[in-house]
Amino acid sequence: MSRHHLPDAVPAAEAAEDHQPLLWRVTAEIGPGLDALWLGNLPAAEDGTTLQRAGIGASLNLAMNIFPGPLLRPDGTHLRRYQIGLLDGAGNAPETLAAAVTLIDGLAAIYTEGKPHYPAHIKGGLLVHCRGGRSRSVTVLALWLHLRRPGAFPTFDEALAHLRALRGLEQSYPLPPMLTLGREVLDRGLCAR
């Protein structure tokens, strides 16, 4: 049984990216628990060499349909995995999207050492990903940037524009239902500033 439940057909531009690890550094100086925030795709989340080279020690999977397994990096440390499953489109609760922003806050606040019997791990950056790093991940990171770095990103739209430019995305990404959900999180005040 496959750990990933991927669509049968995707646009050609997406298909071209779906087999190569892609990473973009979003911001550094996150907090004592994280060195940096990264945007990426599923192949990056499963590539220990790429993650080690970037200094990434944990991943946050925002997809409901993919399940990256345990990962041992070449240096012998394990990647910590977190997941908050979202649909890539309509049907998500705004509270779930807000939970992803809150989880980033929690991981940034403190580095959890673990216990002697836990897998070896080192502090590093956090890779925020979904299948392609175009919609769910960009929406969560845009919310986080706007809410936690308002001096640089005074509006949600400015944070989105920054991430679209960084990622090389068309205006059609993130998908409209994700943008609506992000605005609902803001309108309802589900993520305190």
Residue 11's CB: how many other CB atoms inside 10 A?
8
5 inside domain: no
pLDDT at 39 over 90: yes
pLDDT at 156 over 60: yes
The total domain count for the chain is 1
178 inside domain: yes
CB 31 within 8 A of CB 54: no
76 burial type by CB count under 10 A (0-12 exposed, 13-18 middle, 19+ buried): exposed
What's residue 2's pLDDT?
64
What's residue 154's pLDDT?
98
Q: What is the mean pLDDT of the chain?
A: 93
Taking only the tens place, the pLDDT of each residue in 67-110 is: 898 999 999 999 999 999 999 989 999 999 999 999 999 999 99
8 inside domain: no
What's residue 102's pLDDT?
97
2 inside domain: no
- CATH code of the domain containing 129: 3.90.190.10
Amino acid (one-letter) located at 102: T
Residue 6 — very low, low, confident or very high, per pLDDT cuts 50/70/90? low
pLDDT at 180 over 90: yes
49 inside domain: yes
12 inside domain: no
pLDDT at 9 over 90: no
pLDDT at 1 over 60: no
Contacts of 55 (CB under 8 A, 6+ apart): 35, 36, 124, 125
93 inside domain: yes
Q: DSSP label at 5? A: -
Domain residues for the domain of 44 are 19-187
What's residue 3's pLDDT?
72
CB 40 within 8 A of CB 22: yes
- Determine the Cα–Cα distance for residues 38 and 24; give it in Å rounded to an integer: 6
Residue 149 — very low, low, confident or very high, per pLDDT cuts 50/70/90? very high
DSSP code per residue over 32-90: TTEEEEEEE-HHHHT-HHHHHHHTEEEEEEEESS------B-TTSPBPEEEEEEE-SSS
What's residue 136's pLDDT?
97
Mean pLDDT, to the nearest integer, of 147-173? 97
6 inside domain: no
